[in-house]
């Protein structure tokens, strides 16, 4: 191949590369324009208006000023509700841990007994995660009546969907070398799960459980809005009665409770994991 032919081949290759990059950039620009148009349309549909927010600031400020100063004497009334909120979160998370352990193994491709079981389990977990705790609370309030038991069941079901999904994904990502070594020694399927898979996911599962406890405390603070006990019941009652100073006290207690739970869960994660 002479120098002229070689230079022509190089020029042709460079031209092809330039053409490929130009097409790629045009495609990216097209997708960007399409995404911008979709966002603009959705903003118009949901009436996204910064001007409306700015014009509404005086009304927000008026509501906020009505909350102050908090009625600290109302703290004595909120003691039992605060304890009840923590109890709902703890029991809801505990039940979720117990239910999510078998579901996570059924919902992982490498440990499920059958592909049909895998898909049915994933469908169940998606349903549990898709339904909000407040909806579950409404359902259970109609079944077991007003009170914290409905809140426990609501938190437990939603948390089960989250924990089992995360754990199932961790199971699918375990080191296959350890599993294959167990199989090579003649271990049964259950032995492989107990001694080859489970030890690898325990730290991650503990971390998810602690995180879920933190989230459950936040969720339990508002379940009282639908009659499922906890601080939410006091919050909605004070708002309905226009006792905004007591509402501010409820918000303050919820903030402190979330702050303390975040600190405790953070220390637990550092110690356990």
Q: Is the pTM of this model over 0.85?
A: no
Tens of pLDDT, residue by residue, the chain (273 residues): 555 576 676 677 777 777 888 888 888 988 999 999 999 988 888 888 888 888 888 888 888 888 888 888 888 888 888 888 888 889 999 999 999 999 998 988 888 888 898 899 999 999 998 888 888 888 888 888 888 888 899 999 999 998 999 888 888 887 777 777 777 777 777 777 777 777 788 888 888 888 888 888 888 888 877 777 778 888 888 888 888 888 888 888 888 888 888 888 778 777 766
Contact predicate 90/213, CB 8 Å: yes
Continuous H helices in the chain: 3-45, 50-67, 75-106, 115-130, 133-144, 148-172, 176-184, 189-192, 198-220, 231-240, 244-272
- For 25-84, the DSSP string reads HHHHHHHHHHHHHHHHHHHHHTT--HHHHHHHHHHHHHHHHHH-S--GGGHHHHHHHHHH
Q: What is the pLDDT of residue 198?
A: 79
Paired tokens of 238: 């004070």
């Amino acid at each position: 191949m002479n120098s002229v032919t070689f230079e022509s081949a190089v020029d042709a290759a460079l031209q092809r590369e330039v053409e490929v990059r130009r097409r790629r950039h045009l495609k990216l620009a097209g997708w960007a324009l399409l995404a911008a148009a979709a966002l603009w349309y959705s903003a118009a549909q949901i009436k996204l208006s910064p001007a409306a927010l700015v014009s509404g600031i005086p009304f927000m400020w008026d509501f906020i000023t009505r909350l102050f100063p908090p009625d600290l004497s109302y703290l004595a009334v909120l003691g039992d509700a605060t304890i009840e909120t923590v109890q709902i979160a703890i029991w809801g998370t505990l039940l979720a841990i117990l239910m999510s352990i078998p579901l996570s193994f059924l919902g992982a491709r490498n440990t499920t007994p059958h592909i049909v079981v895998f898909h049915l389990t994933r469908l169940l977990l998606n349903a549990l995660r898709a339904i909000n705790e407040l909806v579950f609370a409404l359902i259970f309030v109609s079944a077991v009546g007003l009170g914290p038991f409905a809140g426990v069941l609501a938190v437990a079901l939603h948390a089960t969907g989250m924990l089992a999904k995360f754990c199932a994904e961790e199971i699918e990502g375990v080191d296959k070398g350890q599993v294959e070594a167990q199989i090579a020694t003649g271990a049964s399927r259950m032995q492989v799960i107990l001694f080859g898979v489970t030890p690898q996911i325990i730290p991650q599962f503990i971390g998810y459980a602690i995180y879920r406890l933190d989230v459950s405390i936040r969720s339990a603070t508002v379940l009282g809005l639908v009659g499922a006990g906890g601080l939410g019941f006091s919050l909605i009652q004070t708002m309905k009665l226009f006792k905004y100073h007591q509402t501010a006290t409820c918000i303050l207690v919820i903030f402190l409770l979330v702050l303390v739970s975040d600190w405790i869960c953070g220390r637990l994660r550092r110690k356990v994991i």
